[in-house]
Structure 1
Amino acid sequence: MILTDLVALSFIQSGFGQIMVKDIICNADNVGLYEKYELQFEVINAVYDNPFDPNQIDVSGTFVSPESDTIRIWGFWDGYHWKIRFAPVSTGVWQFSVTVRDSVSFYSTAFDSMNVISSSNPGFIGISKVNRHYLEYSNGEWYYGNGLAKPWFIFEHTPTLFQDMEEHGMNSLVVWMPSWESLLVRDYYDKYDVGRALIIEDVVEAAEAHGIQLIFTIWNHDALRGVGHPWTVRPYYDAFNAFRHIAFPADSFFVNDSSWYYQKNLYRYIIARWGYSTSIGIWAVISELDGTGSSSYSRSNTNDFRNIWFERITNYFKENDPYKRPTTGSLAAAVIWDLGFNITDIPQVHFYNYWKSDPLTDGTWTMAGMQKQIWEGWDKPAFFGEFGPKNENGLEPEYQHNAIWACLMNGAALSPMDWNDDAEWGEFTPEMFDDMLHLKRFISDVDLRDTD
């Protein structure tokens, strides 16, 4: 929104020292329930070198609900201004204040108010209070995710993807935040590429506009894999991930204290900048953990440093996301991952069976059986976060048809997500989009939370 369209706010200054907050503007007089309320402002006379390090400059907002509940929201530097983004979770008059701390001083504005009105936004998705095998929105409506996986170059490869998904009743999309065009730490581990952040911003805003919930992947395996790993392809950590400058080889990323220090700064920035959005549906902290590092991985060894890190990053998002979204993570191996399923909120499996003699039958039976096994073993939602055959065999539409219905009938909380990369795995076909519309029409008439 153009700044001249924003509403200026006037605050009484308080606190002590030279640091000050000034020129605060907001994006609305009245904000809808679960909608974005954004404050933009300047911080003057603060002492810091790096605006992306909250240990040098810590910016936050305190929001107090009409029921006197308090929510602290981190601020962030977008490359031009300081901002705080907040999604109110109840209607009525909220009070809020902005606080800034640097290494030598502290400043806090007096409290001002914002008015929250009702909206059509159903809120954030979370684990159902009715049946923990399923998901629901903040307002209590059932959420069944029906979607696909399109990790990168969405606007370049599939410019009408969000419109096509909405027209066919689809509401879930797997994306990779650190994909090749949007890796925030490609050049620096302690500062973030604000141009690449705008690409992520475009994806989030497009998802908001079309009612899509993002399965928002924090790390993919390629970005954390180095030379020495048994998967010899694409050791991109060594070439493109700036964390290599403080943690090398790739195994060090998971155990180095400096690495974790700057990882936490990165995760805080992600939550601060995009955590307001109800279209961030699920935090997928890692895609295919067994493909990371610079050595072999053991999925059953609780002492494998990658498993320890997986629990650590999962807990970070659980503890610091003010809206308490569910978390997930995955292996490449199509197995029941007891250790990981116990850690995460939503067990996830990846399944590619293009090597089987008859993937249409063998693959469908395997997926149905694994989905049922997870239902019986964990009181949690579960789904296949990636699946599919290579497009060279022409089986993808029929395989997807079989998979979405087999998984639905065996307890999936989201449809299996067909992998689309505009290369050997192809893209969604019109026939596949039509199948998802049929699925949407079916689940609109039922509420599987009533099943056991």
Structure 2
Amino acid sequence: MKKNIASFFVLFLITQIASANFNKVTVIMGKFALYEKVEINVNLTENWQNPYLQEDIALDMEIISPSGRMMLLPCFYVSGESGKESLWKARFTPQELGKYQYKFVITKNKHLAYSTGYKKIAIISSGSKNGFLHANDKWTFRFDDGKPFRGIGENICWESRDSDDSKFFKELNQKSKFNYEYMLPTLATNGGNFFRTWMCSWNLPIDFKNGFNNNRYQSSDEYYNPSALIKMDRLMELNDSLHLYMMLTLGPGAYNKREGGLVDSAADFFVKQEAKQRYKNRLRYIVARWGYSTSIAAWEFFNEVDNVQFGDPGHAINGADIVAWHDEMSRYLKSIDPYNHICTTSISHRDIDGLNSLKCIDVNQKHIYRNTSIIPVEINRYVEKFDKPYVIGEFGYEWDWSKNFNDFAESMDMDFRRGLWYGLFSPTPILPMSWWWEFFDSRNMQSYLKGVRQISDMMLAAGDGSFQHVPVNAGNCQAFGVKCGSTFFVYLLNANLDPASVIVNIQTKIDGNYSIQSFDPKTLIYKDVKVHSSSENGLKINDLYLESLREQVIIITPSKK
């Protein structure tokens, strides 16, 4: 008995010593619900040189889920001095119902220094949240709760800059209204659910000191820029309120010495150990502060990394170094992200050997300009070759911002429309995303997303995310078909300058009774289709009328018994 008491006393002392540097742990949210953020303040006293460098000091939240899953969540430094009380935060989003256990651990110089004892928290149902998005198959993502998802939207890569470099649209692009508070509600109101945005020197510049070309940010010598951190926090809240999901392009950050970084060139960025460690610390901070957000659909490492590769004429960066960097960083990001967000990166048009085959890059991506017609072929080609989801992260009729788009505005609009439909009828979880968001806003093109979203929702509901290609022929008009569950969808495009009377042949036998409707994406009007016949070879629809440069969707629904 005395031995047991003595052992307990020693254990008690060890626990007290281990917890001595933790002054207070406070859960600052009153409701603990599934897929909702739980924020915890940790007040501690410890010495450090730089609290943003994990090789100096790191605070983690060790978590045991109700099912027994072990997780390690990075936490982030907020304020306070070395040797005095400081404030740190954990932002955690539970993905299971029931009782969680958690404790906090301090690591110094990569060695365990202190930890708290375990505490418990009970998570109840939120009733309205779906959780985080994850790669599922070639056509869809899926939420934690199993609901299928396809992204419909556009690039909204930055808020307006103080000085825009467009020759003809400088005044338009510099309008202060082009901020997230205007652009994102506009996207959501028109049926969009997805967008892509950048972290760079003029937008969300968390590790840049000055020179933003954007008066929303203030110069600072802090390790991470306070005005950029506040803007990023606000963006997460806005996304959540609008039920929007985004691809966050992380970029290289301020890696160059002239920007406050550690290396002299992009080539060094990919291979120097000090640059890679700095980037890992940046990733850790991003996951710690914003990884909780279910609105982050995907982390994108680079925008058009092939353009970085060939950015210095005559001194191309070794492609193998770029691939090795992506392999290392994607594996690292997966190791510190307890939510398993989707990872991607993008090229402009030049493939880098090996990049599309990396294990921890979940979705491959390229950008297509001046060639929108090849989108279906390219998506299918890459999906078949690499057996991985493929996304067209940017597309457009024209990439050259020195041209006056008003000279060919209708062609720009046409490309905007058909790119979306090409994606909807192709195996991609995110429909191709247009560039030139200010220009298309001025032409009210976002309203066109409403019809695309309607059909996409019908597809997902009909097949619970299942898609099957269906061969379709429509003479001189373009035609694409898919089967979702037992419902067939056909997209028709008259890309010719003359109107056309179209005969549609769906080359798959359709059993039983069914109803047929046409849908006009411009007017959002559905009409019954009466003139049709079926046979062993499929279904024929006669005398459909399509105006020049217009599209139509045919929906074939089995009758209820």
What TM-score do the two structures reach when normalised by structure 1? 0.82
> In 2, distance between residues paired with 1:206 and 1:369?
36
Residues 91/171 of structure 1: CA separation in 2 closer, same or farther (3 Å cut) = same
Cα-to-partner distance string for 1:192-226 (whole Å, 9 max, x where unaligned): 22321111111121111111111011106x977xx
Residues 223/442 of structure 1: CA separation in 2 closer, same or farther (3 Å cut) = farther
Aligned partners of 1:52 and 1:190 also within 8 Å: no
Matching of residue 324 in structure 1 with residue 331 in structure 2: no
Counterpart in 1 of 2:208? 186
Residues 253/190 of structure 1: CA separation in 2 closer, same or farther (3 Å cut) = farther
Counterpart in 1 of 2:55? 55
2:158 is aligned, of 152, 156, 162, to 152
Matching of residue 67 in structure 1 with residue 67 in structure 2: yes
Counterpart in 1 of 2:114? 107
Q: Secondary structure at the match of 2:286?
A: helix
Aligned partners of 2:287 and 2:337 also within 8 Å: yes
Counterpart in 1 of 2:458? 445
2:146 is aligned, of 132, 136, 140, to 140
Matching of residue 306 in structure 1 with residue 322 in structure 2: yes
Aligned partners of 1:62 and 1:97 also within 8 Å: yes
Counterpart in 2 of 1:199? 231
Counterpart in 2 of 1:16? 17
**Letter of the 2:31 counterpart:** N
Alignment of 1:173-322 (within 5 A): 173-187=195-209, 191-219=223-251, 237=256, 239=258, 241-243=259-261, 246-292=262-308, 295=312, 303=320, 305-322=321-338
In structure 1, runs of 5+ residues without a counterpart are 1-11, 225-236, 354-362
> In 1, distance between residues paired with 2:151 and 2:367?
16
Q: Secondary structure at the match of 1:16?
A: helix
More strand by share: 2
Q: Secondary structure at the match of 2:280?
A: helix
Aligned partners of 1:36 and 1:277 also within 8 Å: yes
> In 2, distance between residues paired with 1:38 and 1:27?
6
Alignment of 1:8-47 (within 5 A): 14-16=15-17, 20-44=21-45, 46-47=46-47
Aligned partners of 1:384 and 1:415 also within 8 Å: yes
Question: How far apart are 1:268 and its partner, in Å?
Answer: 0.7
Cα-to-partner distance string for 1:41-82 (whole Å, 9 max, x where unaligned): 2111x1102110122211011121222222111110134631
Aligned partners of 1:34 and 1:88 also within 8 Å: yes
Question: How far apart are 1:318 and its partner, in Å?
Answer: 2.4
> In 1, distance between residues paired with 2:314 and 2:204?
27
Cα-to-partner distance string for 1:251-292 (whole Å, 9 max, x where unaligned): 211111111111111111111111111111101011111222
Aligned partners of 2:105 and 2:116 also within 8 Å: yes
Alignment of 1:283-432 (within 5 A): 283-292=299-308, 295=312, 303=320, 305-333=321-349, 339-343=354-358, 344-353=361-370, 363-390=371-398, 391-392=405-406, 393-394=408-409, 395-420=411-436, 422=438, 426-429=439-442, 431-432=444-445
Residues 322/189 of structure 1: CA separation in 2 closer, same or farther (3 Å cut) = farther
Aligned partners of 2:208 and 2:254 also within 8 Å: no
> In 1, distance between residues paired with 2:356 and 2:396?
22
Q: CA-atom RMSD, angstroms?
A: 2.8
Aligned partners of 1:60 and 1:98 also within 8 Å: yes
Question: How far apart are 1:298 and its partner, in Å?
Answer: 10
Q: Secondary structure at the match of 1:59?
A: strand
Counterpart in 1 of 2:89? 83
Cα-to-partner distance string for 1:283-335 (whole Å, 9 max, x where unaligned): 101111122266359999753x22322222222222321111221111122x5
Cα-to-partner distance string for 1:131-179 (whole Å, 9 max, x where unaligned): 4442111111111000111111278523322212222221111011234
**Letter of the 2:357 counterpart:** N
Residues 431/106 of structure 1: CA separation in 2 closer, same or farther (3 Å cut) = same
1:117 is aligned, of 124, 129, 139, to 124
**Letter of the 1:169 counterpart:** G
Cα-to-partner distance string for 1:22-53 (whole Å, 9 max, x where unaligned): 23222323311111111012111x11021101
In structure 2, runs of 5+ residues without a counterpart are 1-12, 81-86, 161-175, 210-219, 399-404, 469-561
**Letter of the 1:388 counterpart:** G
> In 1, distance between residues paired with 2:152 and 2:58?
39
Aligned partners of 1:168 and 1:437 also within 8 Å: yes
Counterpart in 1 of 2:503? none
Cα-to-partner distance string for 1:361-408 (whole Å, 9 max, x where unaligned): xx3321122122123223222211011235343133221111110122
> In 1, distance between residues paired with 2:58 and 2:287?
14
**Letter of the 2:48 counterpart:** Y
**Letter of the 1:342 counterpart:** S
Moved more, 252-261 or 367-376: 367-376
**Letter of the 1:351 counterpart:** I
Residues 126/135 of structure 1: CA separation in 2 closer, same or farther (3 Å cut) = same
Question: How far apart are 1:342 and its partner, in Å?
Answer: 1.4
Aligned partners of 1:290 and 1:297 also within 8 Å: no
Aligned length: 408
Counterpart in 2 of 1:166? 188
Q: Secondary structure at the match of 1:375?
A: helix
**Letter of the 2:107 counterpart:** R
Between the aligned residues of both structures, percent identity stands at 22
Aligned partners of 1:385 and 1:417 also within 8 Å: yes
